[in-house]
Amino acid sequence: MRKLILCAAAALVSTSYAALANDSVLQGQSDPKQWVLQTGDYANTRFSQLDEINKDNVKDLQVAWTFSTGVLRGHEGSPLVVGDVMYVHTPFPNNVFALDLNNDGKILWRYEPKQDPDVIAVMCCDTVYRGLAYADGKLFLHQADTTVVALDAKSGAVLWSVVNGDPSIGETNTATVLPVKDKVIVGISGGEFGVRGSVTAYNMNTGERVWRAYSMGPDEDILVDPEKTTHLGKPVGKDSGLNTWEGDQWKIGGGTTWGWYSYDPEADLVYYGTGNPSTWNPSQRPGDNRWSMTIMARNPDTGMASWFYQMTPHDEWDYDGINEMILSDQEINGEMRKVLVHFDRNGFAYTMDRLSGELLVAEKYDPVVNWATHVEMDKNSDQYGRPQVVAQYSTAQNGEDVNTTGVCPAALGTKDQQPAAFSPRTGLHYVPTNHVCMDYEPFRVSYTAGQPYVGATLSMYPAPDSHGGMGNFIAWDATKGEIVWSLPEQFSVWSGALATAGDVVFYGTLEGYLKAVDAKTGELLYRFKTPSGIIGNVMTYEHNGKQYVGILSGVGGWAGIGLAAGLTNPNDGLGAVGGYAALSDYTSLGGQLTVFALPN
C-alpha cells in the first residue's frame, strides 16, 4: 500500500502545475504518511488517505505515547510529521520541538524564541498559535510578536527571520503561514486593536518581502485591478477599499487575516478571509467597510486580487470572515464545479465557484441563526449576495448603548477558527460548530494605538430552546446546503476535524475528549479523555507501517479564555467568560500531545 501511495504522490507532482506550487509541499501533502501543513493539504480538506484505522476497528484505539509541551494555555493547531520527525509547537512563547519518531519521541532539538511577554496583553483571544508549516527542508514559525522565522528542519538553526508587524500598535500573530512556490504568505491579528489587516509574502529562501496586500485602503495598497478584480462577477471599481468608509476610519479598520489559507495550484490562486471591521461599535463606521469580512482570491506571485466576496457588509456582530476555504470538486445542479466551501462565523455556509467567485449556495448551517433571514441569491436584485438583516438583531439599528439581546450566533460565530474537514469518499464536510447566542451592547470608544478598540459589551449563552449545549458537530452537504447529521455537544467544538479513508471522522471537545465517529452516520465509535480541553486539530500520520492519530490538548482560545487567563467576570474575555464558566468543572489548563494507534 505504501508503494501505491508514493506512486500517487509522484503522479501528482508530475502534473504541469507542480512547479508552480511547491514541489516539497505537493509531495508532502500527497504522501499520507506525512503531515506537512496544518491544514493537511493546500485544499484545506484535512482528509487523509490512511485507512489502517477504520470505522470497524477504531473502537480498539489506544494511547501510544504522549508528550508534554511544557507550556500551559490554549494549544491550537497540530504537530507536523516530515519523514521520521515530528515537529510540535506551543502557544506563546512559541517553542518548537523536533521529536525523533524512531526513538520514542526523543527531543532532537528545541527552538525557544525569546519574546517580550508584553505581547500577551495585545492578544485578543488567548496566546494561541495555529502552528508551523514545512517546505523545502525548512520549518516556518510565525511568532506571537509577528517575527517570521525559517528554521532548518534538521538542526533547528535559524536560516532567516523577519518582523512582519508591531505589537506596540496591537499587531500580533496566531495564524500558520502558507508556503507556496518560493514564498511564504503570512497574516496578521489585531482586529480588536484597530490594526489594518494585511497579507504579506516573503521569499522562502531569504525572508525578503515580496508584496503586501492590505484589506482596506487605496487600490495600490489592497492590490486590486479596479477593472479586473471582481465582486460577485462585477469589477470592484476604483477606490473600493476607501469609498465604503467614512473619513480615515479605514486606517484603523480591522479586516485582519488571522485565519487559514488555501491554494489551488491549477488556478494559481490563494484563498483566505478577512476579519471584522474595527471597532465593534458599528455606529462609528458607517458604510459597508470593504474589504473587511471578505473572501479573497489572490495571485501568490504578485498579490493581485482576482476576486472578492464580502459576506457580512458593515458587520454589527464581530462575525470575522477568516474561516478556512475548503477546495473540492462538487456537482452543483448537475454540473461539476471547482468550488470552495466556507463555513462563516455569521452562520451561513457558502459554496462558491473558486475560479470566478460566483456564489452557488449560501445556507444556514445552524438552524438557530437569526440575525439574517437569508442571503439574497437573485443576481438581479440590488441585494444580491447580501445577508438580509433582521432589524430586531441589528446592533446598528438598535444603536449605541442599547443592549441587543438574543442574537444568534454569538460573536464567536456558528464556527470560529476550528477548521472543518472534507471527505471525498462521502462528499460531506465535517464541521465543528458553536451553538451559542449573545447580547451585544455597542458603545462609543476612542482609538489609542496599542489599546483595546472594541466598543461593545457582550454576554454569551447556549442557544435557547435547543438541546442546552453550546455546540454541535455536523456533517454538511455543500451541494445542497443541508445538514446531514448533527451531534449535540455540551460545549462548542473548538477543535479541528480530521476525515480519513477509513471512513472515520475525528474531533476533540472542550472537556478534553478525542472522539471518533462514523463518517456516514455520525455514530460515536470511540472516545478518550485527554489531559486537558482540546482546541487543537486532529492529525494523522504513518510511521514504520503503522497509522497514528495525534492531538494537542490544552484548553483555551476564545471559548476557553476564562480558564486560560484566569478570568471570572462573566463579561470578561470579550464576553465569553460567563457562557463557558462550566468548563472548569471538566478540565484544567494543559499542554500535551496524545498519540493514538491500534494495538500491535
Ligand X SMILES: O=C(O)c1cc(C(=O)O)c2c(n1)C(=O)C(=O)c1cc(C(=O)O)[nH]c1-2
Burial (0-12, 13-18, 19+ Cβ within 10 Å), 599 = exposed
What is the distance between the alpha carbons of residues 533 and 514, in angstroms, rounded to a whole number? 10
Picked from a second copy, ligand X, none, the partner binding residue 189 (CB below 5 to 8 A depending on kind) is ligand X
Asked if 490 interacts with a second copy (CB under 8 A), we say: no
Non-local (6+) Cβ contacts of 3 within 8 A are none
Residue 479 annotated as lining a ligand binding site: no
Picked from ligand X, a second copy, none, the partner binding residue 76 (CB below 5 to 8 A depending on kind) is ligand X
- Smallest separation (angstroms) from ligand X to the CB of 510: 11
- Smallest separation (angstroms) from a second copy to the CB of 90: 9
By CB under 6 A, what part of segment 189-208 binds ligand X?
189-192
Q: Residue 371: which of 337, 405, 342 has the closest Cα?
A: 405
Q: Which three cell numbers stand for residue 375?
A: 442571503
- Smallest separation (angstroms) from ligand X to the CB of 398: 21
Non-local (6+) Cβ contacts of 152 within 8 A are 137, 138, 139, 158, 159
The string of DSSP codes covering 511-553 is TSEEEEEETTT--EEEEEE-SS---SB-EEEEETTEEEEEEEE
* Strands 294-298 vs 348-353: parallel, antiparallel or unpaired: unpaired
Is the Cβ of residue 305 or residue 551 nearer to a second copy in the bound state? 551
Applying CB under 6 A, which of residues 348, 558, 580, 586 lies at the interface with ligand X? 558
Applying CB under 6 A, which of residues 47, 92, 258, 580 lies at the interface with ligand X? 258
Q: At 442, which amino acid appears?
A: P
Asked if 261 interacts with a second copy (CB under 8 A), we say: no
Task: Give the x-and-dash track for 32-71 against ligand X (CB under 6 A).
Answer: ----------------------------------------
Is the Cβ of residue 49 or residue 532 nearer to a second copy in the bound state? 532
Applying CB under 6 A, which of residues 101, 120, 305, 412 lies at the interface with ligand X? 412
Asked if 104 interacts with a second copy (CB under 8 A), we say: yes
Q: If residue 407 lies in a helix (H) or strand (E), which one and from where to where?
A: strand 404-407
Strands in 456-462's sheet, in edge-to-edge order, are 404-407, 436-442, 456-462
- Smallest separation (angstroms) from ligand X to the CB of 143: 13
Picked from a second copy, ligand X, none, the partner binding residue 276 (CB below 5 to 8 A depending on kind) is ligand X
Which single residue brings its beta carbon nearest to ligand X?
A: 191
Is the Cβ of residue 32 or residue 321 nearer to ligand X in the bound state? 321
Residue 58 backbone phi and psi in degrees, to 5: -60, -20
Q: If residue 27 lies in a helix (H) or strand (E), which one and from where to where?
A: helix 23-30
Is the Cβ of residue 191 or residue 554 nearer to a second copy in the bound state? 554
Q: Residue 192: which of 169, 226, 210, 214 has the closest Cα?
A: 169
Asked if 358 interacts with ligand X (CB under 6 A), we say: no
Tell me the H-state helices in 211-257: 219-222
Asked if 531 interacts with a second copy (CB under 8 A), we say: yes
Is the Cβ of residue 275 or residue 387 nearer to ligand X in the bound state? 275
Distance from the first to the final alpha carbon of the chain? 18
Omega within 30 of 0 (cis) for the link into 279: yes
Asked if 417 interacts with ligand X (CB under 6 A), we say: yes
Asked if 594 interacts with a second copy (CB under 8 A), we say: yes
Asked if 529 interacts with a second copy (CB under 8 A), we say: yes
Burial (0-12, 13-18, 19+ Cβ within 10 Å), 235 = middle
What is the distance between the alpha carbons of residues 297 and 327, in angstroms, rounded to a whole number? 12
What is the distance between the alpha carbons of residues 63 and 464, in angstroms, rounded to a whole number? 37
By CB under 6 A, what part of segment 295-334 binds ligand X?
318, 320
What is the distance between the alpha carbons of residues 441 and 317, in angstroms, rounded to a whole number? 10
Asked if 205 interacts with a second copy (CB under 8 A), we say: no
Q: Are the beta carbons of 468 and 462 closer than 8 angstroms?
A: yes
Task: Give the x-and-dash track for 532-551 against a second copy (CB under 8 A).
Answer: x-------------------
Q: Are the beta carbons of 95 and 111 closer than 8 angstroms?
A: yes
Applying CB under 8 A, which of residues 67, 134, 393, 476 lies at the interface with a second copy? 67
Residue 276 annotated as lining a ligand binding site: yes
Quick one: which segment of 120-128, 336-344, 395-403, 453-461 binds ligand X (CB under 6 A)? 120-128
Q: How many residues does the chain have?
A: 600
- Please calculate the CA angle 294-296-302 and round it to the nearest 5 degrees: 145
Q: Where are the beta strands (DSSP E) in 274-322?
A: 294-298, 305-310
Asked if 593 interacts with a second copy (CB under 8 A), we say: yes
Asked if 117 interacts with a second copy (CB under 8 A), we say: no
Picked from a second copy, ligand X, none, the partner binding residue 191 (CB below 5 to 8 A depending on kind) is ligand X
- Provide the annotated active-site residues: 318
Query: Which residues contact a second copy by CB under 8 A?
Result: 62-63, 65-70, 72, 97, 104-107, 110, 528-532, 553-554, 584-594, 599
Please give the annotated binding residues for Ca(2+), written as ranges. Answer: 192, 276, 318
Please give the annotated binding residues for pyrroloquinoline quinone, written as ranges. Answer: 76, 130, 174, 256
Query: Which residues contact ligand X by CB under 6 A?
Result: 76, 124-126, 128, 174, 189-192, 256, 258, 275-276, 318, 320, 412, 416-417, 557-558
Please give the annotated binding residues, written as ranges. Answer: 76, 130, 174, 192, 256, 276, 318
